[in-house]
Amino acid sequence: MFGLRLDQGAVLLLRRAVEPFILMPCFYGKMYISPDDLTIIATSTPDPILHNPSVVTALRLRPSFFNNFYCDESLCLVLNLNRLYDILCQARDDHFLGIYGNGTHDRVSVVLLGSATPEFRHANMDLVSIHQVQMNVPQFQYEYQVIVGIPSMLFRTSILELSQFGVTGTLSLCNSLLKVYLNLMNIK
């Protein structure tokens, strides 16, 4: 059984964090959840015509990122990322968000609660599959060089939003090479 809750304002940040999965495009992803970690991993579909390779994207969230987080079993849930994103898009920025489920049902419940009004929404997200095994969240052991072009204002906004989740970063510029190092802070 697991549950997590985000306070108002954090729904916008989670929606923006999930958006790259949709833009890649990744249709299904694996959500690894354990008592001390939640990670969403998805692989894009390669496009041989455009010579686009398959890309793996991961979003790792520690329990301290959430207002309330509990999990009493390790699960691997395969879910439809488009459905998750659609639900997050239905939420207003001032909504409280709760996601609840367990390893015996084939769906996850999502609850949206308005802060200014007594608005309440409930949505179910069907799962593709559930694996109930003791597993560790995969750790990536490979490094790849990539070139990413991003407008400066979007970069600035992204860095500011990462600080809301407790992420610190260091920038290092050598010649024409910009290095970004992100470290997770343990916020309680």
Strand ranges, E, within 8-139: 28-34, 37-43, 56-61, 68-71, 75-80, 96-101, 107-113, 120-131
Is the pLDDT at 53 greater than 80, yes or no? no
Q: Given this structure, which CATH class describes domain 2-136?
A: alpha beta
Q: How confident is the model at residue 78 (pLDDT cuts 50, 70, 90)?
A: confident
**pLDDT tens digit string along 23-49?**
777 778 888 888 888 888 887 766 666
Domain ranges, ordered by start, for the chain = 2-136, 148-188
Residue 31 has what pLDDT?
A: 86
pTM of the full predicted structure? Answer: 0.63
Q: Indicate the residue type of 121.
A: R
pLDDT of 187 reads: 40
Residues 6+ apart with CB under 8 A from 91: 11, 15, 97, 112, 121
For residues 140 and 64, which has the higher predicted lDDT (pLDDT)?
64
Kindly tell me if the per-residue pLDDT of 148 is higher than 60: no
What gap in Å lies between CA 38 and CA 108, rounded to an integer? 15
